[in-house]
């Protein structure tokens, strides 16, 4: 891991504009591949991290969450919301920002937008999981739910797994049309579909990513054939699911952090003793992932703080020695550390 710079009063800040410039400078698919590898590297050292379910404030309108973790040297947190009704008001369903700090001093060393970065890290995490769980040689994916995450998911699967064909479905035809336009020229064959059943036809990977905060049944048991990998990323809070529970009874289910996933994921529908495998154990070889051609694998992904940690350290390393950040004056820096009051007084006009 790259060495953190010495803490200082001026904190590097990556704005939305600079995040977009950085992604275009590196190349979107390159970012997705590199970020996939960084996340996997941190999964390999999973046991070195502090872990806790995210701190959530729920309301009828949505949820506001803090997602903290630390590996003992670096601390990170992300602020993120999820408000499905925002779209009707012309607002983003999900927004986020994040921070890295040096554990030894407590000083922040990076502040950044994370709305775009969360989309990138979510797609990279999906691709990392699929690299271990999806059928070998998978070339077709179904994308059910064509909102803000859809294109990132498709391109991550293309960049990391070599997916060639994406089949799209959304209850909103405008969302499908948007995704078709955005993926044109990507090198993917793109097929808009009129139903979830049509979308999953011939797909080895099925990704569900819908926004409504409710117990929903996007996929029913009879729709899911043997041998597929399901990447369920839309169920991410209590009272919100996408899969019929009978699918989970047939599938081998892999999760990030069970104490969080049992509250927020698809497995909130199941009994507390429903068996799951932690994905980090598959990554390290401690547990089996895909073990047979007819096996149904399910990545019940709700997003976890270690993935944000990975994304933040990736951005910190990538913006170093570039012009893709500003310096913010957010840390008081008196000449004498004990004389904060004197610094304030000297600032009088």
Active site residues: 236
Q: How distant, in Å, are the alpha carbons of 11, 109, 333, 344 from that of 340?
A: 19, 21, 8, 6
Burial class (CB in 10 A: 0-12, 13-18, 19+), 233: buried
Q: Tokens 């064959």 identify what position?
A: 189
Decide: 264 and 291 in contact? Cβ < 8 Å: no
Decide: 141 and 127 in contact? Cβ < 8 Å: no
Listed residue (74, 26, 58, 63) closest to 305, CA to CA = 74
Rounded Cα–Cα distance for residues 152 and 166 (Å): 12
Q: Roughly what angle, to the nearest 10 degrees, separates helices 28-44 and 16-26? A: 100
Q: Tokens 């499908």 identify what position?
A: 176
Rounded Cα–Cα distance for residues 268 and 266 (Å): 5
- Secondary structure (DSSP) of 198-243: HHHTT-SEEEE----SSEEEEE-GGG--TT-EEEE-S--BTTBEEE
Q: How distant, in Å, are the alpha carbons of 128, 169, 254, 264, 266 from that of 269?
A: 25, 25, 15, 10, 6
Rounded Cα–Cα distance for residues 237 and 214 (Å): 9
Decide: 210 and 233 in contact? Cβ < 8 Å: no
């Amino acid at each position: 891991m790259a060495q953190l710079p010495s803490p200082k009063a001026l904190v590097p800040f990556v704005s939305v504009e600079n995040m977009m410039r950085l992604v275009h400078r590196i190349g979107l698919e390159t970012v997705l591949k590199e970020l996939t590898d960084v996340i996997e590297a941190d999964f390999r050292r999973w046991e070195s991290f502090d872990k806790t379910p995210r701190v959530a404030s729920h309301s009828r309108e949505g949820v506001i969450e803090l997602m903290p973790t630390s590996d003992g040297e670096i601390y990170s947190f992300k602020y993120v919301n999820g408000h499905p009704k925002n779209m009707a008001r012309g607002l983003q369903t999900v927004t986020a920002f994040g921070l890295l700090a040096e554990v030894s001093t407590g000083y922040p060393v990076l502040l950044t937008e994370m709305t775009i970065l969360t989309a990138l890290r979510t797609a990279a995490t999906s691709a990392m999981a699929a690299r271990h769980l999806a059928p070998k040689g998978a070339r077709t994916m179904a994308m059910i739910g064509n909102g803000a995450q859809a294109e990132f998911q498709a391109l991550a699967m293309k960049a990391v797994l070599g997916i060639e064909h994406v089949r799209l479905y959304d209850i909103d035809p405008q969302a499908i049309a948007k995704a078709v336009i955005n993926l044109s020229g990507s090198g993917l064959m793109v097929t808009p579909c009129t139903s979830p059943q049509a979308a999953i036809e011939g797909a080895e990977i099925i990704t569900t990513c819908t926004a409504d905060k409710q117990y929903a049944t996007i996929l029913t048991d009879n729709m899911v054939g043997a041998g597929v990998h399901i990447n369920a990323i839309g169920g991410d809070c209590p009272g919100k699911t996408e899969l019929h529970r009978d699918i989970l009874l047939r599938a081998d289910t892999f999760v990030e952090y069970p104490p969080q996933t049992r509250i927020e994921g698809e497995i909130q529908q199941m009994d507390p003793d429903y068996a799951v495998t932690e994905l980090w154990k598959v990554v390290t070889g401690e547990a089996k992932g895909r073990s047979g051609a007819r096996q149904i694998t399910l990545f019940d992904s709700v997003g976890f703080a270690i993935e944000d940690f990975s994304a933040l350290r990736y951005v910190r390393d990538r913006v170093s020695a570039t012009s893709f950040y500003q310096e913010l004056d957010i840390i008081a820096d008196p000449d004498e550390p004990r004389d904060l009051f004197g610094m304030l007084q000297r600032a009088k006009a």
